[in-house]
C-alpha cells in the first residue's frame, strides 16, 4: 500500500512575515514549494530599500532560511523563478546567485522582468525568488 502524501503549510520563524495571504512554504511528500522571497527584513517585516545587490542577497538569504527550516537547502532546489524589476540586473544577480549554491547543484531556472509586487502600491522591490526543492528522506518530518 502506498503512503499518503501529506500537505503541510509553514510560516517560518526568523523569516519576514508574508504581507499577503500565503504560507512561506508548502510541503507535499518530499517536495517543498517556497513562496516568493524578497528583500524583506526578517525583524521589521519591511522592504529593505537598498541597492540591487543588497536586495538580491537578502532575498536569497530569506529563501535559504525557509529551505533550511523545512530540512532542505539551496543545493536541493529543483527549479527556481527569479523576478527582476530591471533586466539590466540579470548578470549581477547571476554573480550573487552563484555564491549561494554549490557548483554543479544549480536548479532549472527562469528569470523574468517585471514589477515585483511589494504591497500598498510600492515599487521598492527590485528582485524576488521562489523555488521548488527536494527534502532528503532523512529530513522529512523534522
Most confident of 21-25, 84-88, 117-121: 84-88
pLDDT at 105 over 90: yes
* Helix boundaries (H) for the chain: 52-69, 90-97
Model-level pTM?
A: 0.87
d(CA 131, CA 64): 10
Q: Residue 50 — very low, low, confident or very high, per pLDDT cuts 50/70/90?
A: very high
Q: Which residue segments constitute the domains of the chain, with CATH numbers given? A: 7-139 (3.30.1330.40)
d(CA 62, CA 40): 8
Amino acid at each position: 500500500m502506498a503512503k499518503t502524501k501529506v500537505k503541510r503549510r509553514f510560516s517560518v520563524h526568523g523569516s519576514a512575515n508574508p504581507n499577503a495571504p500565503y504560507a512561506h512554504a508548502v510541503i507535499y511528500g518530499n517536495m517543498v514549494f517556497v513562496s516568493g522571497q524578497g528583500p524583506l527584513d526578517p525583524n521589521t517585516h519591511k522592504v529593505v530599500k537598498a541597492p540591487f545587490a543588497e536586495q538580491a542577497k537578502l532575498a536569497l538569504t530569506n529563501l535559504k532560511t525557509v529551505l533550511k527550516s523545512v530540512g532542505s537547502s539551496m543545493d536541493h532546489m529543483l527549479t527556481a523563478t527569479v523576478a527582476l524589476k530591471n533586466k539590466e540586473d540579470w548578470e549581477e544577480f547571476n554573480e550573487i546567485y552563484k555564491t549561494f549554491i554549490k557548483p554543479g547543484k544549480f536548479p532549472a531556472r527562469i528569470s523574468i522582468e517585471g514589477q515585483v509586487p511589494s504591497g500598498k502600491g510600492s515599487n521598492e522591490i527590485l528582485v524576488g525568488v521562489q523555488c521548488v526543492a527536494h527534502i532528503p528522506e532523512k529530513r522529512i518530518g523534522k
